[in-house]
Amino acid sequence: MTLDTTAINQQMTHFDDHEAIWLFGYGSLIWKADFSFLERRPAHIIGWERRFWQGSHDHRGTPQAPGRVATLTESPGAVCHGMAYRIAQDVLGPLDVREKNGYLRVVTPLHFDDADQPESREGLVYLASEDNAAFLGPAPDTAIARQIAESHGPSGPNRDYLLNLAQALREMGHDDPHIFALERELLALPPLPA
Ligand code: SIN
């Protein structure tokens, strides 16, 4: 699949007749909401696990030295917690550009965590599957943490992405063993040579 998914995403018509759309964020979209939204609510999706398996050529690394950022991998019954945003249609254009490095819009049921009664909606998630050109896949935690420690891109150091995500999940009261293991590995690494 092409490295820039903007054009593919803009062909999606699923929500065209909706005035507003629920977007589920599980990575930087949790802690970096630099887009306008009408409402924000903690939520989860089922059947997916968050993994630092996606390469980043445009935000937290470069094409020559990609960083590592979050995507989702299918896992029956797993619960992935994140943040849902109700956004207007015109916010999708800039989001497609932000998520252009391999992520495709996918329709998903999402379930709110702040409701007294179970409450769900159909929403959208940006997902980087293993057939995208920037996909890196699994590696030992130490190797992932080292790659994150050494990577830097136009949006800043890769380590900030991981540390901000871990902090946001902690503040939301969620345990994510993969994320917290990577955070521990990263913080245990010796400082990079100046
Ligand atoms: C997301 O946060 O939902 C997608 C991945 C990212 O932008 O970090």
DSSP state of 129: -
Q: pLDDT per residue over 90-111, tens digit each? A: 999 999 999 999 999 999 999 9
Query: At 45, phi and psi to the nearest 5?
Result: -125, 160
Residue 61, ligand 1, Cβ within 6 A? no
Q: Which of 28, 100, 110, 160 has the most ligand 1 atoms within 8 A of CB, as the residue to mutate?
A: 28
Q: Give residue 74 CA to ligand 1 midpoint distance, Å.
A: 16
Ranges of each domain in the chain:
6-188
3-state class of 63 per DSSP? coil
Helix, strand, coil shares of the chain, percent, nearest 5, are 30, 35, 35
Q: pLDDT per residue over 139-189, tens digit each? A: 999 999 999 999 999 999 999 999 999 999 999 999 999 999 999 999 999
Mean pLDDT score across all residues of the chain: 95
Residue 26, ligand 1, Cβ within 6 A? yes
pTM: 0.95
Q: Give residue 172 CA to ligand 1 midpoint distance, Å.
A: 17
- Superfamily in which the 6-188 domain is placed by CATH: Gamma-glutamyl cyclotransferase-like (3.10.490.10)
Residue 99, ligand 1, Cβ within 6 A? yes
3-state class of 22 per DSSP? strand
